[in-house]
Amino acid sequence: MDSNLKIGMKAEIEVVVEQQHTAMAFGSGGVKVLATPMMIGLMEKAALKAVDEHLGEGFATVGTMVNIKHLTATPVNMKARAVAVLTKIEGRKLSFDIEAYDEIEKIGEGTHERYIIEVAKFLKRTEKKAIK
């Protein structure tokens, strides 16, 4: 595996909160505000964006752990963004600090882990599982 990963790598993802991003749409609550699963998804995408393009051919990352706090609600039509910073590299295990913001304040924070995988081997193992 050939990669150019370095501590401190950072990426950001932004979305305008729409109805399909709400807790009501996700089934994770009964209100029309940014759903926690959507915020977590943004955080994961930011972490992926920070590192995946720097991996060698045939490699990618998969999320394995998310530990977050959703601090406050974000209404529909407001921008939300997630920022991920690579904080630790332990072999194939990557650790990130993740934060999310809306246009007014910080809305979430926590940590995230991803593992570097060899895509072909990973898919082969997954396909075997599907056959059983």
Active-site positions read: 36, 44, 70
The residue among 111, 45, 42, 44 whose CA lies nearest residue 74 is 42
E strands present in 1-132:
10-16, 59-70, 79-90, 93-102, 106-118
Q: Is 132 helix (H, G, I), strand (E, B) or coil?
A: coil
Between CA 3 and CA 57 the distance in angstroms is: 9
Q: Residues 112, 95: contact at Cβ < 8 Å?
A: yes
Between CA 37 and CA 46 the distance in angstroms is: 14
